[in-house]
């Protein structure tokens, strides 16, 4: 006794219809990427930055000589596009492309091949967005030794 209401032909027709690509998606524009792919490298998302990267003691890192921090769940990819643990890179100074999360922590890191390193990076000199945390703090830093009466006051 067959209790199936839907025939097999109807089920196959629905499954094939779900797997086909809609017409509007066939002409969708390819997302733009940086120019490393034109030089024989990988495609990196728009807004990635380039810098010299060194793991001090994970999650503590240095980017261009400045102390930074990896975000929780940060991913580091080698030149062969394989995941690498931060502990295996401790003390190595590498040229990388990286992105930041909304809190300003380093979220994704790609170790560059020599071909990718030669390609000029269009966002290496300027940030993606012109507000904190995407703009590097190049102003004076407080070392904690400034006397209280010499600190700037409100309104100055």
Chain mean position to CA 125: 16
Rg (CA), the chain: 24
What are the distances in angstroms from CA 3 to CA 6, 7, 8, 31, 121? Answer: 9, 10, 13, 48, 63
53 pairs with which residues across the strands?
63, 94
Predicted local confidence at residue 39, as pLDDT: 61
**104 within 8 A of 66, measured Cβ to Cβ:** no
Residue 43: enclosing H or E segment and its boundaries?
none
63-82 pLDDT tens trace: 998 999 999 999 999 999 89
32 token code pair:
């733009």
140-149 pLDDT tens trace: 566 778 788 8
Higher per-residue confidence, 11 vs 89: 89
Predicted local confidence at residue 138, as pLDDT: 55
The pLDDT of residue 46 is above 90? no
Predicted local confidence at residue 140, as pLDDT: 57
Name 137's Cβ contacts closer than 8 Å, sequence gap at least 6. none
Domain parsing of the chain, residue ranges: 51-125
């Amino acid at each position: 006794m067959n209790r199936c209401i839907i025939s097999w032909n109807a089920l196959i027709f629905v499954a094939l219809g779900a797997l086909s690509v809609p017409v509007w998606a066939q002409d969708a524009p390819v997302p733009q990427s940086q120019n490393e792919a034109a030089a024989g490298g990988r495609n990196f998302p728009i807004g990635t930055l380039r810098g010299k990267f060194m793991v001090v003691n994970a999650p503590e890192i240095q980017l261009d000589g400045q102390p930074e921090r990896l975000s929780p769940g940060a991913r580091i990819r080698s030149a062969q596009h394989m995941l690498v643990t931060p502990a295996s890179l401790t003390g190595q100074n590498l040229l990388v492309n990286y992105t930041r999360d909304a809190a300003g922590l380093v979220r994704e890191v790609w170790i560059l091949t020599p071909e990718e390193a030669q390609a000029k990076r269009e966002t290496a000199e300027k940030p993606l967005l012109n507000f904190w945390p995407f703009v590097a703090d190049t102003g004076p830093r407080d070392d904690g030794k400034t006397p209280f009466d010499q600190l700037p006051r409100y309104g100055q």
